[in-house]
Structure 1
Amino acid sequence: MQTTSNNKIHKDDAEEDVDFSAIIFKYIVYWPIFLVLIVVTSITAFIYLRYTVPIYEVSASILVKDEKKGIDGSSIMESLDMFGSKKIVENELEVLQSKDLLMQVVNNLKLYAPVYEEGRIKDRPAYIISPVTVELKHPESVRQVQKIKFVFSKGSTIKVTNKKYALNQWLTIGKDTLRFIQNKNYEAPEIEKPLYVSISNAKAVVESLHQQILVSSVNKQATVIHFELKDAIPKRGEDIINELITVYNKAALTDKNILAANTLAFVENRLGSVVKELSQVEGDIEKFKSKKGIVDISQQGKMFLDNVGTNDQKVVEINMQLAVLDQVEKYVVSRNEQAGIVPSTLGINDPVLTQLLQTLYELQLQNEKLRKTTGENNPALIGLQDQIEKVRPNILENVRNQRNSLIAGKNTLTINSNKYTSQLKNVPQNEKELLEISREQAIKNNIYTFLLQKREETALSFASAVADSRVIDIAKSSLLPVSPKKFIVYLIAIAAAIALGSGFLFAKEMLNQNILFRGEIEKAVSWPIIGELSLNDTAEPIVIGEGNRNAISEQLRQMRTSLDFLGINETKKKILVTSTISGEGKSFVSLNLAVSLSLTGKKVVLLEMDLRKPKLSPVLNISSDKGISNYLIGKAEVEEIIKTTTVNENLYFISSGPIPPNPSELILNGRIHDLLEYLSQAFDYIIIDTAPVAPVADAHILSKFCDATLYIIRHGYTPKIHVKRLEENNKVRGLKNVAIIFNGLKGRGFGKYSNNYGYGYAYGYGYGEIEVNSKKVKTTA
């Protein structure tokens, strides 16, 4: 039918569109619950903020001086700095995060032994309020966390377990040897303050710090490295990052100085041997001149010496470079994973080789330290050994390529030298011998001059060595904590209150086994819902009358109008009223519907067909001595059982009569058809209040004689399981032309802002002074 079709369309639209305003209004009526929850969660948030340690963010930035990344360094210093490495930012990121550097930071700042001030609820870190810090002799050997209470007393003494110790005095507590030293960060002098120190293994602290410090490059094109650390103590966070930068720069300078010292030692050793050789050659020249009586060399001889001297100098430089390459090759081949003295790269102007050597040295050094501290079975050693094996072939390949290039150049110079030597055939024999000796002198002299120059350059570079990084921003902490953020915490608290309240109300309603919402009925059955009646707690069974304009009266008038959709007219006038179980309000609806129809001037008869538990006779104050049961057994005529009422002159009533032992059999005896036919001729409307369908079959028997069925479902009372089975059961038993009345709707929420569970938010339809809960009907079965 048309009404059913419209109902299905409405359900489809409801499933497709989510009305958020309706959802909000659905729960806002419970605002006191939400208000209480918001207060509770806000108090919880306040307590959380009160006792949660605030976390600050500390950041810093450094600039790595790297030619490969476009850093503009001084060309003069670069020409003197023969061993300045060409930093690669990616490598420096790994170095800065190395646990070796972090271990130095932990030891330097004594982070393995933080001091705390005891509090009533929580302890407070005493990094800047403690007058002393604690230093361990062997911080890496601590096996378990140890808490040691102490008191700093007047006279710079420390009281531990009722014993007094002086500052800087070593003492043994358990298996740890430690001493108390002055705290350079101490800012608020206080005497006799209860403190304690929590001692941890330095390696464990390094592991924790390694996870906390974030080191990253700003972008791929820049050589700026950014540090970030979150710490509960801003000063400690700043000290950690600043100390890390300091340790990093010191390590870089140490590497430079080691390489410079090796080069200087090499030059000094060569100078010693060259001086001896040069002195010997000069002595040979003096002896030859004295013996042969030669005073000077001819112009042709001088030209030979000039040409061959330049050529020989280049050969000497190549020989030195080849010697350096031999040392490098020997170092790389002979060393396994053990670090040794890095050979000098004097005269080798290849930054790639220098960088590769430094990388190899750092990897070998890290491998050696890790092997000593953790043993041979540490998985981290495998990774380091793999990196060493990858670097070593690259160095050997570089050495091989440079050696081939140098040998080719040397061969060319040798050809030129032979060409100059052939020119000596035209020179006298004595002068020829002198030229040979002078040539050797020139070679030694050039070597000597070259070594002197390199020694000065090396010494200058050693003295002026600076770190390959520059601090752009020193470590500074944020002014406000980054965690917890008050606004976010309170926002979460409010959201949690709303979620808890909504979840509780949703669960309370959804887990209810009885029908609460109109939508639950629409989802279960396709029958139209033609009326909704609010619950009224007054004792009046009749709630509609002439001039009544309360909410439930208007609802009954709407329901009366909706009967047209069921096809009720002058020829179809018999309306059966039933429900699933007793107590759903079918008798209440029957009575008030009959009254409502009688107010229109139509003649209405109300039949009390619930022969087992009649309820209407007492309400109307009409005797049930003679009624339907008498008529069905043939002991009364129709005219005898029809009675008038005091409610309205158009309303008539037929009582159930005495309760029979066999109501269903009486209804089936055929006389009920005659009764209804007679009434159809005499009245405009026939309202039949019958028994519930769940326990007995009376309603299904009577339905075939009726034109429409009003099925009562009571809010919060009718079980959902019964509603879900309504249509399925009706296919077998066959109630005719069924429509649903949703009865007993209660207000949701609190006060005047409450709303009902059916359509809309309130009833009244313009009668402003009438509120939803101003009049409630107490339904009767």
Structure 2
Amino acid sequence: MIDTKDFTFFDKQNNFDFKGFLIKTLSYWKWFVIGLIIAFSIAQQVNVRKQKIYGIETTIAVQEENNPLFTANTSLVFNWGGTSDKVQMISTTLKSRSHNELVVDKLQFYTDYLKQTKYFLQDVYGQVPFKIKIDKTQNQLYEQFIKVKMLSKDTYKITIPFQNNSAKVIRYADNKESTISTPDKEFSRVCKVGQNINLPFLHWKLDVVNFENDTFGDEILIRFNPFDKTVLTYKSLKVGIDEKAGSILKLAMEGTNKERMVDYLNQTVLVLIQRNKEEKNKFAENTINFIDVTLHDMEEKLKNSGNDLKEFGKNNNVIDIEEGGITFKNQLLDYDKEKDVVERKIAYLNTLKTYLKNSVDFSKLPAPTIVGIEEENINTNVAKLITLSIQRSQLVYSVKGELMYERIDNEIQSVKKVLLENANSYKNALDYDLNLANQKIQKLENEISKLPENKQEWLNLSRKYNLSDNIYNTFLQKRSEASIVQAANLSDIKFIDPAKDVGGGLLGPKTGVNYVLAFFMGLIVPLVIVFFIFFISNSIQNIEDIISLTQLPLIGIVGVKHSETNLSVFERPKSALSESFRAIRSSLQFLYKKQNIEGTKTLMLTSSVSGEGKTFCSLNIATVFALSEKKTIIVGLDLRKPRIFDDFNIQNDLGAVNYLIGQNKLNEVIQHTHIPYLDVITSGPIPPNPSELILGDSMREMIEELKQKYDYIILDTPPVGLVSDALELVQFCDVTLYIVRQNFTKKEMLTLLNNRHKRGELNNISIIFNGYENKAKYGVGYGYGYGYGYSYGYGYGSGYHEDEEPTGFFAKWHYRLLKLFKT
């Protein structure tokens, strides 16, 4: 029946043993060394397998550049706009798809120049002795390596390892992909430098750029990539606006090839400058186009009116006719010029209103100043409308979502409304001026009608010719001015610091960080493992565990044996291990004396389970008694698992079982050993009923007979945690020794031992801590004893026992140093 005392293990709560954990952690120092070696090895392999990442920057300024020809005397005025929103717009443009398409196409950056290294493919653009220029209108082998090797300054070899009889090709002029037939074997050809190569799958020309390059003779891998995919990689260009100077932009790129990044950054700025100039010249282009159309029409009119005037002069005396008509001619020309200016303005405004109502692209509007409109609101709003229209067209490839479109569309609609109002107001004023001009002309025409017919005809012909000639010369002058303005135009974008490889610029990989992480991981992983082992470990680790789990006395501590057999005391009587058993002997004699036991002393050794060193301790305790010339006998009563006969080189044919069943007498089962004063009774053959034999009267009779012959009787019993045989032998023993083995005996076993002791099943019981390693697993400095038994340490036991070199790394060197200083 289970006793309530069996549940006393609930009375104690095991707290975390920080000291024990620290000592155990230090005992696994080899794990930490191995962990650090592995972690640093992994970090080193990661570092060498990663390509170096560099950073390249360039700086540009955005500022308003006015044309130097814009003076008060210039009849053409173009509003380029201000710097407001320009910086943000340029930042957006630099990341736009349309802009990067132009740069990639210009540099042909869809072409890879690669070199196979030990761990990766290295981008060697700008580092190879040649450069390839492809024919964009022809097919190129697509996404497959082309091996190129320079044979000399004038020749190179192309090798293409085709895998099957077809291959993909791309034509970069329109990015059209297709599949063509190819040989199903490796293609190889020697070509001349500078020669146009025309193959079904390859159209290029290779030129030498640096014959002395270090990579000359190396095999370089050429690969043509998808155009759109290449553009996408360069859209990651970083654009930053200087906080202190809002018109300064910093462009930065990160990559593995500095030459490629330098070329791309400089080219992207050059393309941006060119596009900016083209945008600024949009007014001039539109104006020139408008003037060219007008000049073409005026040339025809001027030619016709000149021919009519020439024909009139053939049939009439022009000199006589001009007399008296010059005044009318000059007045009429002035009135016609005034009317023509007003009509051209009105015609422009009518065209502008129609364009605003019916069109969605306002980038082609000519400048209002071309027809003499100097109304500031109209000029400004037309310029703003053109700028907004150009910006919106650029957002097609760079902006996702409708928010930016809505903002620009709203601005365009607002400008259109204001511009329509301005045009209507200005047209009303022009209509009034037109009526005045018509009235003047009508009045003058009435006076002319009174002249002779030949003079009226001459005035009409001269009027048409002079008007056409005046208009033609005016537009011709304006076209000249527009061309000069366009040619003298400057970009708003300036290089401050072009991209350049000046050395350095290394961004990664962060090798130092990897090594720091490796250091911590090399420590943390073993620490977690040790903590897990310590946390789940339920075995006795040290003396503190025994003290905290039981009140039973600890009579001695036994280290790990280093002898070939279990007879450690006999084989090495001066060893530290032998001294620990002598200390146990002294403690036993103290216990016997305390109990006033005279004559033969009996001792029983048991343990929780098999393997805790019960037999080992029995043999050596018996040996120390025998070496003190006390007649001692060991009785093997572990009838289920006999062990003690092997170490004495005796047979187990006869033993305690034979005596207990009455088969043999006591003298017949007692066997002498090679150790003086030490005899042994082995267990004998394994019986079917060991418990019944121990409970029988024969056991009592055997103990009584042995007391007549020996000074010490040591009973080697089975584990009390497995069978109850040892409990039946307690009645014959003066002292019971319970063997606890380090890293083996479970803590619950001591709880069961406490319960048996409280119930009186085990009396006069003491504990031996066996298999204790004071260095290898628990650090130097514990020593044997803690006040119990043998307490000598290295250096202090000199002269008392044999020196044993320890097995632990630190302890071994500590031992050798002490030995060196002693000598």
**TM-score, scaled relative to structure 1:** 0.63
Aligned match of 2:206:
180
* Matches of 1:258 and 1:459, distance apart in 2: 12
2:251 aligned residue (198, 213, 227): 227
* Matches of 2:495 and 2:21, distance apart in 1: 55
SS in 1 for 2:27: helix
Aligned match of 2:696:
669
Deviations 1:366-401 (A, max 9, x none): 59xxxxxxxxxxxx9xx5889657644541233114
State the shift of 1:229 in Å. 2.7
State the shift of 1:25 in Å. 2.1
Root-mean-square deviation over aligned CA pairs:
6.9
* Matches of 1:363 and 1:345, distance apart in 2: 27
Q: Map residues 256-267 of structure 1 onto 2, 5 A cutoff.
A: 256-266=280-290
Contact 1:549 1:767 (8 Å CA) reproduced: no
2:379 aligned residue (320, 339, 348): 348
Aligned match of 2:420:
403
State the shift of 1:135 in Å. 1.7
* Matches of 2:509 and 2:273, distance apart in 1: 34
State the shift of 1:549 in Å. 8.0
Change (3 A) 1:219 1:294: closer
State the shift of 1:228 in Å. 2.9
* Matches of 2:329 and 2:283, distance apart in 1: 49
SS in 2 for 1:235: helix
1:254 aligned residue (278, 292, 295): 278
Contact 2:23 2:779 (8 Å CA) reproduced: no
1:587 aligns with 2:615: yes
State the shift of 1:92 in Å. 2.8
State the shift of 1:405 in Å. 5.8
Q: Map residues 172-571 of structure 1 onto 2, 5 A cutoff.
A: 172-183=198-209, 186=210, 188=212, 193=217, 195-203=219-227, 206-207=230-231, 209-210=233-234, 213-217=237-241, 222-266=246-290, 324=352, 326-332=354-360, 341=364, 344=367, 347-350=378-381, 353-363=385-395, 391-404=408-421, 407=424, 459=483, 461-477=485-501, 478-479=503-504, 481-484=506-509, 487=512, 502=526, 518=541, 530=554, 533-539=558-564, 541=566, 551-552=576-577, 570=595
* Matches of 2:430 and 2:522, distance apart in 1: 92
Contact 1:315 1:410 (8 Å CA) reproduced: no
Aligned match of 1:107:
105
Deviations 1:111-145 (A, max 9, x none): 33344567899876553453431122228964622
* Matches of 2:794 and 2:513, distance apart in 1: 45
Aligned match of 2:458:
none
Aligned match of 1:774:
805
Count of residue pairs brought into register by the alignment:
685
Contact 1:537 1:775 (8 Å CA) reproduced: no
* Matches of 1:684 and 1:87, distance apart in 2: 111
* Matches of 1:762 and 1:398, distance apart in 2: 95
* Matches of 1:643 and 1:189, distance apart in 2: 93
* Matches of 2:753 and 2:20, distance apart in 1: 33
Contact 2:622 2:634 (8 Å CA) reproduced: yes
* Matches of 1:32 and 1:773, distance apart in 2: 26
1:170 aligned residue (196, 199, 207): 196
Contact 1:142 1:200 (8 Å CA) reproduced: yes
Structure whose alpha-carbon radius of gyration is higher:
2
Q: Residue 795 of structure 2 aligns to which amino acid in structure 1?
A: G
* Matches of 1:562 and 1:95, distance apart in 2: 94
Change (3 A) 1:130 1:704: same
Aligned match of 2:776:
755
Deviations 1:532-566 (A, max 9, x none): 64322214646569x988554576688899999x9
* Matches of 1:132 and 1:147, distance apart in 2: 17
Aligned match of 1:136:
134
Contact 1:363 1:384 (8 Å CA) reproduced: no
* Matches of 1:43 and 1:714, distance apart in 2: 44
1:62 aligned residue (60, 68, 78): 60
Contact 2:95 2:235 (8 Å CA) reproduced: no
SS in 2 for 1:466: coil
Contact 1:140 1:203 (8 Å CA) reproduced: no
1:98 aligned residue (96, 99, 102): 96
* Matches of 1:541 and 1:732, distance apart in 2: 29
Once structures 1 and 2 are overlaid, which stretch shifts more, 109-118 or 660-669? 109-118
* Matches of 1:740 and 1:287, distance apart in 2: 152
Contact 1:515 1:715 (8 Å CA) reproduced: no
Change (3 A) 1:671 1:93: farther
Q: Residue 181 of structure 1 aligns to which amino acid in structure 2?
A: D
* Matches of 1:262 and 1:20, distance apart in 2: 86
1:82 aligns with 2:79: yes
State the shift of 1:362 in Å. 2.2
Q: Residue 82 of structure 1 aligns to which amino acid in structure 2?
A: N
SS in 1 for 2:28: helix
Contact 1:63 1:472 (8 Å CA) reproduced: yes
Q: Map residues 688-727 of structure 1 onto 2, 5 A cutoff.
A: 688-693=715-720, 696-702=723-729, 711-712=738-739, 714=741
**TM-score, scaled relative to structure 2:** 0.61
SS in 2 for 1:239: helix
Contact 1:38 1:493 (8 Å CA) reproduced: yes
Contact 2:239 2:252 (8 Å CA) reproduced: yes
Q: Residue 26 of structure 2 aligns to which amino acid in structure 1?
A: F
Change (3 A) 1:111 1:590: same
Change (3 A) 1:361 1:536: same
Structure 2 portions without partners, runs of 5+: 72-76, 159-186, 306-322, 370-377, 448-467, 785-790, 808-823
SS in 2 for 1:58: strand
Change (3 A) 1:317 1:5: farther
Change (3 A) 1:484 1:390: closer
* Matches of 2:626 and 2:478, distance apart in 1: 125
Structure 1 portions without partners, runs of 5+: 67-72, 281-285, 296-304, 368-379, 422-426, 435-443, 748-753, 777-781
Q: Residue 95 of structure 1 aligns to which amino acid in structure 2?
A: T
% identity of equivalent residues: 24
State the shift of 1:224 in Å. 3.7
Change (3 A) 1:320 1:768: farther
Deviations 1:167-221 (A, max 9, x none): 54432233232222343xx262689835445131351661463366444445598
Contact 1:145 1:198 (8 Å CA) reproduced: no
Change (3 A) 1:472 1:152: same
Q: Residue 537 of structure 1 aligns to which amino acid in structure 2?
A: H
Change (3 A) 1:389 1:136: farther
State the shift of 1:357 in Å. 1.4
SS in 2 for 1:349: helix
Deviations 1:385-439 (A, max 9, x none): 896576445412331144346656877x699999x99xxxxx9x989x99xxxxx
Contact 2:353 2:423 (8 Å CA) reproduced: no
Change (3 A) 1:56 1:39: closer
Q: Residue 613 of structure 2 aligns to which amino acid in structure 1?
A: G
Aligned match of 2:770:
743
Q: Residue 535 of structure 1 aligns to which amino acid in structure 2?
A: V
Change (3 A) 1:519 1:761: closer
Change (3 A) 1:247 1:430: closer
Deviations 1:494-515 (A, max 9, x none): 7777789x499969x969x999
Q: Residue 263 of structure 1 aligns to which amino acid in structure 2?
A: T
SS in 2 for 1:665: helix
State the shift of 1:261 in Å. 0.9
